[in-house]
Structure 1
Amino acid sequence: MSNPYLEVGVAENLKLYLEAMLKLDGKRILLVGEAPGYKGCKITGIPFTSGKIFESVNHPILSGIKDKLRLGKIESENTATIVWNYLATKNKIPLFWNSFPYHPHPEDNENKNRAPTYEEIKYGVKFLHALNAIFKPEIIAGIGKSGLDCAKRAFLEREIKYIRHPSFGGKSEFIKGMNEIL
């Protein structure tokens, strides 16, 4: 496991994203994923993004922060591409977060992903509680089974919606689920 937010640029990128999201009007939605991937959030600091997204997708929220971002390298990440290609035409966007905010990886390879452990997800719940207190979402949804499980664990009294993860053939179901909550 590695904490990408120990890098000043990555932490600053996250701050820019969260500040931009807080300025948005309208219904607030929190989408919970699994964990930062090594080609995406580990580099950008922003869940469900990659460096390529900031070059290729013209969305007001991305355009508003891209010139201020500090990216160590530009990578493409499949899930981020599917998510932001979908959101490119949408006025409303959700706040993305991960059940575990750090990058879980096999012990011998930081350039791979692994699922977070139960203890790691348990640790991540406190970050979800903090975001909930600040952002005050009307809707909370889990992306994929891991995101759903963590969101349910974090918010026992809330209804948590499920959205299929877009990877491994889930793109059309992801789009259907997103259309329902947006």
Structure 2
Amino acid sequence: MRGPIEDFIAALTRQHNTATVANPYRDPRLAGNLQRYLQAMNNMTGKRILLVGEAPGYKGCKLTGIPFSSGKIFQQFNHPLLKQLAAQISLDTVESENTATMVWEYLSRKRTTPLFWNAFPFHPHLPGNPRSNRAPTAAEIAAGISHLQRLHDFYQPDFIAGIGAKGVCSAETAFPQEAVMAIRHPSYGGKADFIAGMNKLMRKKRTP
């Protein structure tokens, strides 16, 4: 019997590839990677945080199926979740991605591991050039809202935050009745502000 995670991934696989969008989840191996990640996160105990970014990058989530990751972080960081997943997932290509590296440098010293997702869960790229990144359009972010809401329904986070303006906007649109914390994206000189924002988020306590 399929559960909510399997239904969630099945919905993702329906997105077709286009000249400007690549769907990593049409590859069954990457869909399987995402399923193992979501199952591992859903089984974790303790405080639950949902962090919403912008979109997969061509060196990161597009190759792994897991938001805010790259093949390199599974080799580079001695984090319990990464060690668990490294033994379970399939990776054809191992590349380093700057944002994923900065994020996991931070998380490698923390006990709480957030669940990552993206405002647009597919890889937006320049026309005909899948090894490029572009910002998702407003229409693409709007199309990602239903996936974000479905993820929220089964994960039931205690706190929600957005990384970067598009991540914040997406989370606020998807969850208008909930407080969404804004965190600076670590790229382009934002690493110190990202760390400060994450520290504030990590200190938040659940209401009894």
Distance 1:23 1:90 in 2: 18
1:152 aligns with 2:172: yes
Q: Among residues 3, 8, 12, which one is paired with 2:32 in the alignment?
A: 12
Count of aligned pairs between the two proteins: 182
> Which structure 1 residue ranges, 5 or more long, are not aligned?
none
1:107-164 superposed Cα distances (whole Å, 9 cap, x missing partner): 1210000111111111100111111100101110000011001111111111110000
Please list every run of at least 4 consecutive aligned residues from structure 1 whose deviation after the TM superposition is greater than 6 angstroms: none
1:81-108 superposed Cα distances (whole Å, 9 cap, x missing partner): 0000110011101000000000000112
1:22-73 superposed Cα distances (whole Å, 9 cap, x missing partner): 1111111000000000000000000000000000011111111101111120
Task: Tell me the residue number matched to 1:35.
Answer: 55
Q: Which has the larger radius of gyration?
A: 2
Distance 1:72 1:155 in 2: 36
**Alpha-carbon RMSD:** 0.6
Q: Give the 3-state SS of the residue equivalent to 1:51 in structure 2.
A: coil
**Could you tell me the percent identity over the aligned residues?**
54
Distance 1:7 1:88 in 2: 29
Shifted more, 49-58 versus 65-74: the winner is 65-74
1:44 aligns with 2:50: no
Distance 1:163 1:102 in 2: 22
